[in-house]
Amino acid sequence: MRKAVGVLLFLLLGTVLIYSSSDVSSLKVRDVPYDGGGKLVVSWNITAEEEVGNIKIFQKINGEDWKLYKSTNKLVDKMKDNSVNHKNSYKYKIEVYDKEGNLLFTKESKTITPGVAFYNVGKTAVLVSLLIIGGLIYYFISAARRGQKLKIRRIPALDSLDEAVGRATEMGKPVLFVPGILDVKNPQTIAGVLVLSEVAYKTANFGTDLNVPVSKPIVLSTANDTVKEAYMRAGRPDQFNDDMVHYVTNDQFGYVSHIDGYMVREKPAAVFMLGAFYAESLILAETGHSIGAIQVAGTAMPSQIPFFITTCDYVLIGEELYAASAYLSRKPDILGALKGQDYAKLLIMIAIIVGAIMTIIFPEFHFAEIFTDIG
Amino acid sequence: MIELSLTQAIGYTIGGFLTLCIFSFLYKDNPLYKFAEHLFVGTSAAYWFVTFYHNIIRPNVINQFKEGNYWPIIPVILGIFMLFRLVPSLSVLSRMGIAFSVGVMAGYQIIRHLETNILRQMGATMQGFDKISFTAGNIGNAINTILILLVVIAGLVYFFFSVEHEGAVGGVAKFGMWMLMITFGATFGYTVMARISLLIGRVLYLKEQWWLSIKYLLGI
């Protein structure tokens, strides 16, 4: 009996010793706490008697097959896996190879499911900046409502509005307004529709025809209400008709072919293209240029602005489109919002300069990561 | 050599004919272009209607109701409100759907834009300064890092609307404008190249599929 117990203890001790001697290398996976459930940290520490050539890291999602995640030759390292989702479980494995490509050993981690925290600490920078920018906008809107004068610099493209509509009136030709091809959920479309309000107000005052083809049903509804309200504001509701704003098609190039056809047939004297544009920008602007219309364009699509610059008389570049409605309407709410954003930009400039100086002086603090490493 | 079926040949022939109809606009407006334009607008409007039904209404409403999930009734009601535009006395209800849609998207996008378009860009501008060095071999990177900072600041000054672009501010804004124009020039060239490749694709279509289809239909 004693012999049997002795042998058993010996085997048990031997197993423990063998296990611990091969466990010199480790692979650990841990969840990043207080995040949105989208991050895991995988760390490894390889110690092998043979010279290690390559280390392959594999990932298994929900018990499915292993998939190669990364290859490295670093014996001690960690990586942040940002591709994970809190709805799945994950397991990692490392395969360690020698210089000849022979497998030395493998190591597997425990299975882990990323946890979701109520408050994502990594997003604190977003919350703080949202509060600062929101606070500035709120302050300036309140100031504008109290009657404080808020100054905005001259935007030359917007001074051309009267010129463009006036020219169309003199020539007895219509004004064409294209509010882009995205839905009203897009801020550029909203900015375009706000400028439409001012253009419609002017066409109502001058008694000029206005044509607004749209490519989205909800934009139809919004633009129609906007034009109708502008005509009522100008005291000319009799001149408004529902056909001024009309739906064409959701299809990008179908919409463009219709507007191109309209332009060469009706030859509008003024063409406004304000909103979100993609590949159709040059097709529209070039046709407008070929009929000799005075063209005012504006978009925040960086790849389309060059086409408008080459073919239009006046262009609102990027954020100028958003400033346009404040500039034209001088409404306290919009002016205050623009002013608030301006001061937010000033803070951003200061933060970038201070951040760059701090990074030079204290590179070990990785100051930039406050802004880039958002959870 | 491409093997063609009769259906493919007819399809390619119609496609080539409509392509030429649209290209005829380069000369001037004409009945062929008008025909293609109206066909395009009509078929695409119908196509999108069917697409919306199959991709949005059927999976998100009809199938959900069949599975016993009645929550989509809320967007359905908001959608039906949009149709009240046709009833003048109830047309005010149509604004509710738009207000809901715009409000939700504004709230959703403000976080995303703040994170990706502001904070990450700020961090990326500062990032290079931790390794900045004016030693031989690193001078190029150092100049690049400083240039990025200057261009970002100048660009922001250009889009600053509270002060007139005069004096020192005007000078910085002008530098920002120049940098923007250089960027736009590069974008212009890049996009034009992409458009040329689209044109090449269309010309190849006419040369290969369309021409082959014509020969097939004529029995040549």
CATH code at position A255: 3.40.50
- Mean pLDDT, residues A146-167 taken together: 89
Domain shared by A102 and A125, yes or no: no
Q: Which of A180, A200, A198, A175 is nearest to A271 (CA)?
A: A175
Domain shared by A130 and A258, yes or no: no
Cβ contacts of B199 on chain A, cutoff 8 Å: none
Containing structural domain, residue A253 = 150-330
Query: Percent of chain B, pLDDT > 70?
Result: 99
Tokens 């930009």 -> residue = A345
Cβ contacts of A220 on chain B, cutoff 8 Å: none
What confidence score (pLDDT) does residue A3 get? 58
Q: Could you give the angle at which helices A156-171 and A319-329 cross, rounded to 10 degrees?
A: 70
Higher per-residue pLDDT: B82 or B39: B39
- Nearest 5°: the CA angle A192, A196, A201 is 160
Domain shared by A274 and A293, yes or no: yes
Nearest to A249 among B48, B124, B162 (CB): B48
Domain shared by A86 and A220, yes or no: no
Structurally, chain A folds into a number of domains equal to 3
Max Cα–Cα distance, chain A, nearest Å: 117
What confidence score (pLDDT) does residue A229 get? 94
Domain shared by A94 and A132, yes or no: no
Under an 8 A CB cutoff, do B36 and A257 touch? yes
Residue B4 scores a pLDDT above 90: no
Domain shared by A87 and A126, yes or no: no
Under an 8 A CB cutoff, do A251 and B22 touch? no
Q: Which residue of A has its CA nearest to B185?
A: A306
- Mean pLDDT, residues A193-201 taken together: 94
Residue A280 exposure: Cα atoms within 13 Å on the Cβ side = 23
- Encoded tokens for A367: 């100051």
Under an 8 A CB cutoff, do A343 and B162 touch? yes
Write b or e for each residue in B63-86: b if 16 or more Cβ atoms lie within 10 A of its Cβ, otherwise e.
ebeeeeeeebeeebebeebbebbe
Residue A332 scores a pLDDT above 80: yes
Domain shared by A321 and A350, yes or no: no
Looking at the domain assignment, is residue A116 inside a domain? no
Under an 8 A CB cutoff, do B82 and A218 touch? yes
Cβ contacts of A216 on chain B, cutoff 8 Å: none
Domain shared by A355 and A325, yes or no: no
What's the order of all strands across the beta sheet hosting A76-81? Answer: A26-31, A40-45, A76-81
Q: Please give the helix or strand (H or E) that residue B58 lies within, else none.
A: none
Under an 8 A CB cutoff, do A355 and B94 touch? no
Domain shared by A125 and A85, yes or no: no
Band of the pLDDT at A155, cuts 50, 70, 90? confident
Residue A129 exposure: Cα atoms within 13 Å on the Cβ side = 26
Asked whether B173 and B154 are in contact (CB, 8 A), the reply is yes
Higher per-residue pLDDT: A19 or B5: B5
Q: Which of A110, A119, A93, A101 is nearest to A33 (CA)?
A: A119
What confidence score (pLDDT) does residue A8 get? 56
Q: Which of B180, B105, B88 is nearest to A184 (CA)?
A: B105
Q: How many CB pairs under 8 A join A and B?
A: 177
What confidence score (pLDDT) does residue A203 get? 96
Asked whether A39 and A120 are in contact (CB, 8 A), the reply is no
Find the range with the poorest average confidence among A152-156, A248-252, B205-209. A152-156
Looking at the domain assignment, is residue A113 inside a domain? no
Residues present in chain A in total: 375
Band of the pLDDT at B154, cuts 50, 70, 90? very high
Looking at the domain assignment, is residue A19 inside a domain? no
Q: Which of A54, A86, A91 is nearest to A72 (CA)?
A: A54
Nearest to A348 among B109, B122, B124 (CB): B122
- Mean pLDDT, residues B111-123 taken together: 92
ipTM over 0.90: no
- Encoded tokens for B187: 């974008």
Domain shared by A129 and A156, yes or no: no
Domain shared by A270 and A293, yes or no: yes
Looking at the domain assignment, is residue A347 inside a domain? yes
User: Over chain A, what is the mean pLDDT?
Assistant: 90
Please give the full DSSP string across A303-342, using - where no structure is assigned.
TTHHHHHHH-SEEEETHHHHHHHHHHH--HHHHHHHHHHH
Mind telling me how many Å the CA of A121 is from chain B's nearest CA?
A: 14
Under an 8 A CB cutoff, do A356 and B102 touch? no
Under an 8 A CB cutoff, do A307 and B123 touch? no
DSSP A373: -
Domain shared by A85 and A213, yes or no: no
Asked whether A307 and A282 are in contact (CB, 8 A), the reply is yes
Residue B186 scores a pLDDT above 80: yes
